[in-house]
Amino acid sequence: MNIEQILATKVKEAVHKHYEVEPENIEFQPTRKDFEGDITLVVFPMLKQIRTNPAQLAENIGKYLEEEVEEVAAYNVIQGFLNIVISDHYYINFFNKVKDREDFGILLPQSDVSGIMVEYSSPNTNKPLHLGHIRNNLLGYSVSEILKAAGNEVYKVQVINDRGIHICKSMVAWEKFGNGETPESTGLKGDKLVGNYYVMFDQEYKKEIAQLKEEGKSEDEAKAQAPIFMEAQEMLRKWEANDPEVVKLWSTMNQWVYDGFDKTYDALGVDFDKNYYESETYLLGKDNVQKGLEDGVFFKKEDGSVWIDLSDEGLDEKIVLRSDGTAVYMTQDIGTAIQRFADFDINQMVYTVGNEQEYHFKVLFLILKKLGYDWADALYHLSYGMVDLPSGKMKSREGTVVDADDLIKEMAQTAKSISEELGKLDGYTDAEKEELYRIIGLGALKYYILKVDPRKRILFDPKESVDFQGNTGPFIQYTYARIQSILRKADFDISAELSKDFSFHEKEKELIKQVQLFPETVALAAENHSPALIANYTYELVKSFNSFYQNVQILGIEDEAEKVLRVQLSNLVANVIKSAFKLLGIEVPERM
């Protein structure tokens, strides 16, 4: 048990002894720095059950804890707050247990726990990945790693949207204007090549719409009758009819895109356990709809379309099958969810999808529950806000997106410029410098995005993200590298345990208390699907270390026990930084 669990048990005993009631709410918080203490019990929530003076209640509990809990050294009462002083002996025992652990705070998957599936990325095969995809991938990957660290078996998947009219648009444009171009012949990544033709389609489409409007057609008529659009519709019909030539072109161009995606994923440092393809899943769900129709979950309208009425749940009617019997997105999402629970031993699923799809997922989860799937209650929509740039909103059709590959390169270049300005890299080879720029640039990008609550919109500023001061990835990476420098200089044995009569410096104790919060932060981040909690915890840990570093001597102190402790403590902090950043998908450099 950690100290809060020990105290919570004893607080209940104290309240029962004095007032013969079992407190429902026991609320702890860190003691404010202007008061003596380590942990503070807030007694006000207990006053709903106990009619007494809050100061007297706190005094009674504090006296009991001091007498009954060996870890409690002293206490003081400030109005309705009980400030508890934890003995150095407790922190010595804690430190001796964890000082050499590189995996402190990280749990192995529990054998009795079913898995959790996390879906993220899920791109379209008509364009490269862009800045919006980066936030999606970083969130999905990091949440997967955090759930693993909390003791879960995790499966990372994506659904690749490889069919539909938007895919056919790129194919038509390539047939009309491509002259047989390939990634090999152009030197372009395949996803970029295909994306260029998606933009080209839109340009040609707009020209044809303008021409038809000049000929007297309305806007809607021009859009529907534009020849290039009609060619794309015809290509989609042929694909659905399994036309050999169309399917061959579709397979070829999609493979170009997959190869391009793989390079981007590798550069970004994310991966997947399984890919689902919409071309293989788009017919799923129709049987489930039919069964739901028979069971009265759905109803059929006069035109033959099938719907569900969710007005009792505060939503509205939602179509699940068109009148011609074809599926809508909701249909295949129903079928795909059911298929995934058949494919994997899971009891939870997390969908990493932008907040514009919140309504869709509310409906999906309700439908699955009404169809009788108990696991529907364990489905979670990891909803996130858009990423904006100072230049405004991105549009794929018009080719105004921030390309993921270009951004990754730009981040490394920004890291290079700032590092050279600061003159930090004397003695590095060119190859070492380039690798360090990559680590710093990518770390800056990931941290800047992940430190923000997923639900919030982000205005991304590349230069601000690579600042070596403040709440940034490079600042934390630099602190890690500084600790590695200390460890390289420590040419003495640091394996000794602290003696039981050791007395901590105030800054040492503050730092140990901050380290101690890591396991509970991991658990909380897993529960809330929030990498931001890990990122901001790490920043607070680094601030605490830098305060320690600036206020005490480490290698220069004469007392041998103090010197060993401070090097051990530095090493433990570095281990926690490395573990925390690994959960965010961020590397830490040994030198900087």
Helix (H) or strand (E) holding 351: strand 346-354
Sheet containing 154-160: which strands, arranged edge to edge? 274-277, 154-160, 115-119, 346-354, 379-384
First to last CA, the chain: 39
Min mean pLDDT across 98-107, 110-119, 246-255, 434-443 is at: 110-119
| Residue 393 pLDDT | 47
Nearest to 401 by CA among 187, 130, 182: 130
Q: Quick one: 210 exposed, middle or buried, by C-beta within 10 A (0-12, 13-18, 19+)?
A: exposed
Confidence band for 391, pLDDT divided at 50, 70 and 90:
low
The CATH fold assigned to 3-86 is Gyrase A; domain 2 (3.30.1360)
CA pair distance 521, 222, nearest whole angstrom? 56
Residues paired with 387 in a beta bridge = 458
Largest interatomic CA distance in the chain: 93
> What is the 8-class DSSP label of residue 392?
B
Report the pLDDT averaged over residues 515-530.
Answer: 96
The values of phi and psi at residue 568, to 5°, are -60, -45
> What is the 8-class DSSP label of residue 115?
E
CA pair distance 243, 250, nearest whole angstrom? 10
Centre a 10 Å sphere on the Cβ of residue 368 and count the other Cβ atoms it contains: 21
CA pair distance 465, 379, nearest whole angstrom? 33
Question: Is 397's pLDDT higher than 60?
Answer: no
The domain locations on the chain are 3-86, 116-388, 405-583
Confidence band for 398, pLDDT divided at 50, 70 and 90:
very low
The CATH fold assigned to 116-388 is Rossmann fold (3.40.50)
Question: Is 390's pLDDT higher than 80?
Answer: no
| Residue 400 pLDDT | 53
CA pair distance 120, 140, nearest whole angstrom? 5
Question: Is beta strand 39-42 parallel, antiparallel or unpaired with respect to 115-119?
Answer: unpaired
Question: Is 250's pLDDT higher than 90?
Answer: yes
Min mean pLDDT across 127-136, 206-215, 387-396 is at: 387-396
Q: What is the pLDDT of residues 484-506, one digit of tens each?
A: 999 999 988 999 999 888 889 99
CA pair distance 382, 528, nearest whole angstrom? 9
Q: Is the dihedral of CA 549, 552, 553, 559 positive or negative?
A: negative
| Residue 500 pLDDT | 85
| Residue 401 pLDDT | 67
CA angle at 406 for the pair 127 and 584, rounded to the nearest 5° = 95
Centre a 10 Å sphere on the Cβ of residue 240 and count the other Cβ atoms it contains: 12
Can you read off the two tokens belonging to residue 359? Answer: 């309504």
CA pair distance 87, 107, nearest whole angstrom? 27
The pLDDT > 70 percentage for the chain reads: 98
Report the pLDDT averaged over residues 281-307.
Answer: 94
Question: Is 168's pLDDT higher than 90?
Answer: yes
Amino acid in the structure at residue 514: Q
How many residues are present in the chain? 592
Can you read off the two tokens belonging to residue 157? Answer: 């998947």
Helix (H) or strand (E) holding 58: helix 54-68
Residues paired with 28 in a beta bridge = 41
Question: Is beta strand 346-354 parallel, antiparallel or unpaired with respect to 379-384?
Answer: parallel
CB–CB of 515/541 below 8 Å? Answer: yes
* 30-34 own/partner pairs: CB under 8 Å, 24+ apart: 30/513, 31/83, 31/84
Confidence band for 469, pLDDT divided at 50, 70 and 90:
confident
| Residue 394 pLDDT | 43
Helix (H) or strand (E) holding 156: strand 154-160
What is the pTM (predicted TM-score) of this model?
Answer: 0.92
Can you read off the two tokens belonging to residue 126? Answer: 């008509």
| Residue 249 pLDDT | 98
| Residue 308 pLDDT | 97
Q: Is the dihedral of CA 387, 391, 393, 395 positive or negative?
A: negative
Nearest to 324 by CA among 294, 300, 302, 304: 304
CA pair distance 133, 386, nearest whole angstrom? 10
Amino acid in the structure at residue 275: N
CA angle at 139 for the pair 442 and 468, rounded to the nearest 5° = 35
Min mean pLDDT across 31-35, 64-68, 464-468, 511-515 is at: 464-468
CA pair distance 26, 43, nearest whole angstrom? 8
Distance from chain centroid for Cα 235 = 38
- Separate counts of helices (H) and strands (E) for the chain: 22, 14
Between helix 473-489 and helix 560-583 the angle, nearest 10°, is: 140
Q: What is the CATH number of domain 405-583?
A: 1.10.730.10
Confidence band for 462, pLDDT divided at 50, 70 and 90:
confident
Confidence band for 465, pLDDT divided at 50, 70 and 90:
confident
Confidence band for 33, pLDDT divided at 50, 70 and 90:
confident
CA pair distance 477, 592, nearest whole angstrom? 8
Nearest to 47 by CA among 17, 74, 27, 68: 27
CB–CB of 364/134 below 8 Å? Answer: no
Q: What is the pLDDT of residues 340-378, one digit of tens each?
A: 999 999 999 999 999 999 999 999 999 999 999 999 999
Question: Is 399's pLDDT higher than 90?
Answer: no
Which residue's entry shows tokens 């993200």?
Answer: 465
> What is the 8-class DSSP label of residue 82?
E
CA pair distance 54, 46, nearest whole angstrom? 9
Report the pLDDT averaged over residues 114-118.
Answer: 93
Amino acid in the structure at residue 445: L
The values of phi and psi at residue 272, to 5°, are -140, 150
Question: Is 262's pLDDT higher than 70?
Answer: yes
Which residue's entry shows tokens 């005490």?
Answer: 552
Which residue's entry shows tokens 């899971």?
Answer: 346
Mean pLDDT for all residues in the chain = 93
